[in-house]
Chains A and B, each alone.
Chain A
Amino acid sequence: MFFRMIIRALFRQKTKMLMIAFTIALGASLATAMLNVMMDVGDKVNQELKTYGANITVVPKQASVLNEIYGLDKSDESGAYLKEEELGKIKTIFWAFNIVDFAPFIDTHAKLGGSEVLVVGSWFDHHLELPTGETLNTGMINLRSWWEIKDGRWLDEQTGDKNAVMVGSVLAEKENIKANDRIKLTTKHGSEELVVAGIFDAGGDEDERIYAPLAVVQRLSDAKGLLTSIEVSALTTPDNDLARKAAQNGPKSLGAADYETWYCTAYVSSICYQIQEVITNSVAAPVRQVAESEGAILEKTKLLMLLITFLSLLGSALGISNLVTASVMERSSEIGLIKAVGAHDGAITMLVLTEIIITAVAGGLVGYFAGFGFAQIIGHTVFGSAVEMKPIVIPIVAVLVVFVTLAGSIPAIRMLLRLRPAEVLHGR
């Protein structure tokens, strides 16, 4: 009889129940979308921030010490170098899959006509065969994606731009250099005739430099197979207390369990530590500004999403409250009659709540799938990729739907409990 009454009541009030289900679906869909995006946003925002450059720099240990003591940041002045042959090892560390891009650097001063310029050697779109057998295309095109090509094109290592360079816009203007011009760079170790592939605008000091393939600058500085630094772009987890403790006191200060947790988490400090393990005599350090910005943006994005979730659920609760109260008012005569024939408050509360919970479950299910759809729209629109379905969101949304429905029903249930059969059946 109980379920017969429930089913009949649901069908009889289908318009009102559909409105309640719609209200719940709306809240549940926003909660589902926000929670799914929030749980996936770490990787998404990290990937997004990777387009703004490297977040780890690797330098020779000696250069790092000189930098700390004298503020020198040039390896050629310190005489310390990293080895090019070890570069592939970066993709063999525990967090290899989090290494998105990396590029080696070597720089030297050279004569260009009558002026002295800084020439930086690097990879542009270098094809790399890894020790693991995998292949990778990496270099400046990814790490300097914000560069604007004012004239010409990006230097293309793959199609044989072995003797080409890219010139910064300030230097190009000063020396009246254009794309496809030929320039001659001279150092004490020799000279190179090079073609200008393109003129770039980086919006900083780089606009006064010349960028050439790694091998060209190694020849100009007589440093075959050597590097002055490596820039690494890695997907990292925002720092927490454990990461800060490891960064401040060194990983050796951690207990065995903490060390294992730290080592097996993609903190920027643990990735740096692992890079140092594979690159001989190196110091890998996070570019603090980038790392901290990532963490801050991530936390603020998550907070914003939590706030949207909370507000959408609050809106749903208010909507449910109005609709259920209206339903109880409309049915006051029926509720009074059921009380008059002997139903206790608990039994009637159970009857009304069961109707609402069934409606809420239906609305919640629709809302969950709609919310997952919204999450995909957000993922593709904002981050350009799909948002992964997080199973944990299902119980969270289920609990939230039941909680919001019950909370929204409180005023109606209070009204129902106050309703006296004598008042509704006899008008007193």
Chain B
Amino acid sequence: MSLLELKNISKIYGDLKALDDVSFKVEKGEWLAIMGPSGSGKSTMMNIIGCMDKPSLGQVLLDGVDISKESSKSLTNIRRDKIGLIFQQFHLVNYLTAVENVMVSQYYHSMPDEKEAMEALARVGLAERAKHLPSQLSGGEQQRVCIARALINYPEIVLADEPTGNLDEANENMVIDIFKKLHRDGTTLIVVTHDPEVAEVAQRTIVLEHGRLAKEIVNENFKD
């Protein structure tokens, strides 16, 4: 059984079909990239996989359970327990320090544990910047805090939306290295990107065009 399976997913806004009959599977421990130009439906896809939106048609099976008809309260619980989110704009709480930003995710999941949050920051190389506010961190550092926050509750899927979109090349490579390490540790990664360089390091890439699944590319040369 696949960890995630989308069956004939459509998302319709009035006359606009943001997603049109899209189907694919993601296996446990797989690294999948979702590519496509602007307006292709990538963000809509990310919102549906991230349990922040529901499809108009079709089924989303997570661990074999159809979550496409769940209530928003139930989707919040699924998101909290099974999904780790990484954003292009980082979305850190700007009045909390780096370690407190990680602890926010723990607090709404179970219990905040500062020691564990510090370890998560250490894994992304930010132990020494733990007490800094987001405004005192560089873009790359903020993105690494965002990654630590996404990982702190051991999610089944890490879902990243344009994770390198706001980063320079050095920081982009640093983030990709963290993803490679996560993949080696068995984390399932879904990375939404329009950057071919980010997509080509993934195991498999699906390309969306006008809301439809245009093609699927398996990276034959994939290596962690």
Which residues from chain A sit less than 8 Å from chain B, CB to CB? 1-2, 4-5, 8-9, 11-12, 333-334, 336-344, 347, 420-422, 425-428
Assembled-state Cα–Cα distance A258/B53 (Å)? 69
Assembled-state Cα–Cα distance A347/B81 (Å)? 16
B139 within 8 A of A: no
- Sample (6) of A-B pairs whose CB atoms are under 8 Å apart: A1-B103, A4-B100, A339-B76, A347-B108, A420-B52, A425-B52
Interface residues of B in 103-127 (CB under 8 A from A): 103-109, 112
Known contacts A4-B100, A426-B43, A428-B47; A342/B105 CB under 8 A: yes
Closest-CB distance, A354 to chain B (whole angstroms): 14
Encode contact with A along B77-115: 1 for CB under 8 Å, 0 otherwise. 101110001010101111110001001111111001000
Residues of chain A contacted by B92 (CB below 8 angstroms): 337
Whether the pair B95, A337 counts as a contact (CB closer than 8 A) is: no
Residues of chain B contacted by A341 (CB below 8 angstroms): 79-80, 85, 104-105, 108-109, 149
Residues of chain B contacted by A8 (CB below 8 angstroms): 95-96, 100
Assembled-state Cα–Cα distance A40/B7 (Å)? 75
Residues of chain A contacted by B50 (CB below 8 angstroms): 340
B161 within 8 A of A: yes
Question: Which chain A residue has the least Cβ–Cβ distance from B106?
Answer: A1
Taking residues whose C-beta sits less than 8 angstroms from the other chain, chain B's interface range is 20 to 34
Query: Which of B44, B73, B94, B104 has its CB near the most chain A CB atoms (within 10 A)?
Result: B104
Whether the pair A342, B76 counts as a contact (CB closer than 8 A) is: yes
Assembled-state Cα–Cα distance A342/B91 (Å)? 14
Residues of chain B contacted by A5 (CB below 8 angstroms): 93, 96, 100, 104
Partner of A333, one of B73, B91, B95, B105: B91
Closest-CB distance, A235 to chain B (whole angstroms): 58
Whether the pair A12, B43 counts as a contact (CB closer than 8 A) is: no
Question: Which chain B residue has the least Cβ–Cβ distance from A331?
Answer: B93
Partner of B104, one of A1, A344, A428: A1
Partner of B108, one of A11, A333, A342: A342
Whether the pair A340, B161 counts as a contact (CB closer than 8 A) is: no
Residues of chain A contacted by B94 (CB below 8 angstroms): 12, 334
Known contacts A2-B107, A343-B108, A426-B47; A334/B93 CB under 8 A: yes
Residues of chain B contacted by A427 (CB below 8 angstroms): 43
Whether the pair B104, A338 counts as a contact (CB closer than 8 A) is: yes
Whether the pair A428, B44 counts as a contact (CB closer than 8 A) is: yes
Known contacts A341-B104, A422-B52; A12/B95 CB under 8 A: yes
Closest-CB distance, B189 to chain A (whole angstroms): 18
Encode contact with A along B45-74: 1 for CB under 8 Å, 0 otherwise. 011001011000000000000000000010
Partner of A340, one of B77, B85, B89, B112: B85
Assembled-state Cα–Cα distance A421/B52 (Å)? 7
Question: Which chain B residue has the least Cβ–Cβ distance from A12?
Answer: B95
Partner of B47, one of A4, A334, A347, A422: A422
